[in-house]
Amino acid sequence: MTQLPDLSDRYALVTGASRGIGFQIALQMAQAGAHVIAVARTVGGLEDLDDKVRASGGEATLVPLDLKDYDGIDRLGAALNERFGRLDILVLNAGILGTITPIHQEKPKTFEDVMAVNVTANWRIMRSFDPLLRASDAGRVIGISSSVAHKVKPFWGPYSASKAAFESLMRMWAAETAKTAMRVNSVNPGPTRTHMRAQAMPGEDPASISTAADVAAKIVPMASKNLEETGAIF
């Protein structure tokens, strides 16, 4: 496993932290010394994370929040400013798949929900948390993307379109903060053993792909103060 960086005295917010890659990133960042602000809709998953974080000697603040609650995102930004005065690490991991179906058969509500969570919510987070990240001596943003942002995968219309839009926003943010201490990166984690992957690929042998823990171990070092790259996609 990749050696984790020293994240002592860093405040790290992870969305979609109740399971999968987000859960493992939050856990490993806490194990590396960060105080993790874990955001997700599922309270039970957040409590499971908190148990593991505490067992490893780490610290976490749990934030049950539906990212479609845009005013809630703004309130969270204000609360973080009041409590911490800055944010050192932001991991934009939360996302929904939608339905794998022909684009002309996609239900409007499903399309709108995918865009609301995967695009608009992330923009609202960028809008609310940018000042907090700029207040850090080395703000780090890591966005979890997908290969479908770049290649046509039939029947994946809303998810593919949302990830393409998300990456465009991330590239823009990286360009706009290039002359600051912030570093903004997008990551394609590749096939990973998660609940979403099982939904998308029901016939796939989960043992044939990487675990969320292994993927997280490769992503967490991107939160290091020593990171120099901006806008990297891999």
* Residues acting as catalytic residues: 159
* HSE value, Cβ hemisphere, 13 Å, CA-based, for 215: 21
Three state DSSP letters for 41-52: CCHHHHHHHHHH
Give strand ranges (E) for the chain: 11-15, 35-40, 59-64, 89-92, 140-144, 183-187, 192-193, 210-211
Taking 3-state DSSP, the helix, strand and coil percentages for the chain, each rounded to the nearest 5, stand at 50, 15, 35
What's the token pair of residue 221? 């070092």
Residue 169 near residue 126, CB atoms below 8 Å: yes
What's the token pair of residue 102? 């022909």
Instruction: For the chain, report the end-to-end CA distance as a whole number of angstroms.
Output: 19
What are the CA-CA distances from residue 117 to residues 73, 112, 130, 132, 162 (Å)? 12, 9, 18, 21, 9
With a CB cutoff of 8 Å and minimum separation 6, the contacts of 59 are 30, 35, 36, 53
